[in-house]
């Protein structure tokens, strides 16, 4: 089953293949599940890694902003933040614009942990790719570029 749609900002009609979209969705889920296995070696839970990645790569956030980004309720995020703060991964700093507000900031320890976790994930993907041909790797490279571009739209 296919349907036609006009992508925003493009002057041509694109054919969107529902079966391909379904396979891509399924493949992404399976890949992420496999990568979560390597996350276990980092020594921190997936929800904590995810929240830390927001603070490390996107910058400081209030607890409410972090909860919104992670799509959890503030009480859930409060528990995660308290644990990560006790472990030295997060520090609270006063908001420079509103002294009533506290902003959460990742520590150097959190950055080091995320570097380790990313390295473990990349190594897992490299291991999965080790028996691919040069042509298959080139195809994956092109697909990764397309996925990055799609995610930015």
Per residue in 47-66, pLDDT (tens digit) is 999 999 999 999 999 999 99
12: in domain = no
The per-residue pLDDT for 50 is 93
Rounded Cα–Cα distance for residues 53 and 117 (Å): 10
More confident residue, 4 or 22: 22
Per residue in 29-39, pLDDT (tens digit) is 999 999 888 88
Residue 41's contacts (CB-CB under 8 Å, 6 or more residues apart) are 120
pLDDT confidence band for 42 (50 / 70 / 90): confident
- Cα end-to-end distance, the chain, whole Å: 24
Per residue in 100-137, pLDDT (tens digit) is 889 999 999 999 999 999 999 999 999 999 999 999 99
74: in domain = yes
14: in domain = no
The per-residue pLDDT for 15 is 64
29: in domain = no
Rounded Cα–Cα distance for residues 151 and 148 (Å): 5
Domain housing 54: 44-152
Output the six-digit token pair for 149: 């571009």
More confident residue, 131 or 14: 131
121: in domain = yes
39: in domain = no
105 and 90 Cβ atoms separated by less than 8 Å: yes
pLDDT(14) > 70: no
Domain of residue 124, CATH code: 1.10.10.10
- The structural domain count of the chain equals 1
The per-residue pLDDT for 6 is 47
Radius of gyration for the chain, computed over Cα atoms and rounded to the nearest angstrom: 19
- Whole-model pTM: value is 0.74
Per residue in 78-100, pLDDT (tens digit) is 999 999 999 999 999 998 888 88
**What is the pLDDT averaged over residues 12-17?**
57
1: in domain = no
95: in domain = yes
DSSP class per residue in 93-148: EE-SS-TT-EEEEE-HHHHHHHHHHHHHHHHHHHHHHTT--HHHHHHHHHHHHHHH
Closest CA to 43 of 135, 128, 112, 124: 112
């Amino acid at each position: 089953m296919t349907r036609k749609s006009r992508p925003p900002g493009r002057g041509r009609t694109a054919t969107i293949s529902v079966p391909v979209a379904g396979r891509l969705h399924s493949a992404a889920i399976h890949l992420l599940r496999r990568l979560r296995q390597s996350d276990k070696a980092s020594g921190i839970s997936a929800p904590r890694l995810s929240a830390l990645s927001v603070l490390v790569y996107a910058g400081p956030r209030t607890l409410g902003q972090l909860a919104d980004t992670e799509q959890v309720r503030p009480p859930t995020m409060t528990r995660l933040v308290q644990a990560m703060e006790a472990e030295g991964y997060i520090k609270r700093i006063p908001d420079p614009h509103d002294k009533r507000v506290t902003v959460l900031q990742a520590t150097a320890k959190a950055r080091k942990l995320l570097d380790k976790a990313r390295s473990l994930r990349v190594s897992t993907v490299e291991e999965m790719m080790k028996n691919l041909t040069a042509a298959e790797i080139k195809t994956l490279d092109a697909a990764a570029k397309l996925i990055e571009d799609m995610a930015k739209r």
